[in-house]
Structure 1
């Protein structure tokens, strides 16, 4: 692995850690109070999950170096998952 690829993967890993912390902070509630669902927080957490999923698929499963149809299919699959999860939540 060349140094630029290793640095890129390190940056992606750091971004994944930051997104994980942000989604935890957004979704964290006080356990003594009754939990409430907020649509904007749910949409934000689901969107961050899709971003994390895309980063993992592209960089750690190395789909970004694969054929174009595979990159396109993985992006369509992630967007379909996001839309379905959001539709189920809003329904």
Structure 2
């Protein structure tokens, strides 16, 4: 949920993601999928933190967990992995 941030809700539409519950094969949490979706939109950790009302460091923690769970090294590899498996929708 968005709270009072520098990004008004109308200006920052949520990227399409599948929830962890509807995608039972994903090893990622809903929050991790949310971070990954914003990464796919080109957002930095600081930007994502502001959008999600968490710190940029917390976003970095989630990204580290994502990479570890998916056995990849970079954010973009994680995004590509998620898109190939249908966890993120492409525009």
With the shorter chain as reference, the TM-score category is: 0.3 to 0.5
Whose helix proportion is higher, 1 or 2? 1
TM-score by length of 2: 0.32
Give the structure, 1 or 2, with the largest relative contact order (CA under 8 Å, sep 6 or more): 2
TM (normalized to structure 1)? 0.32
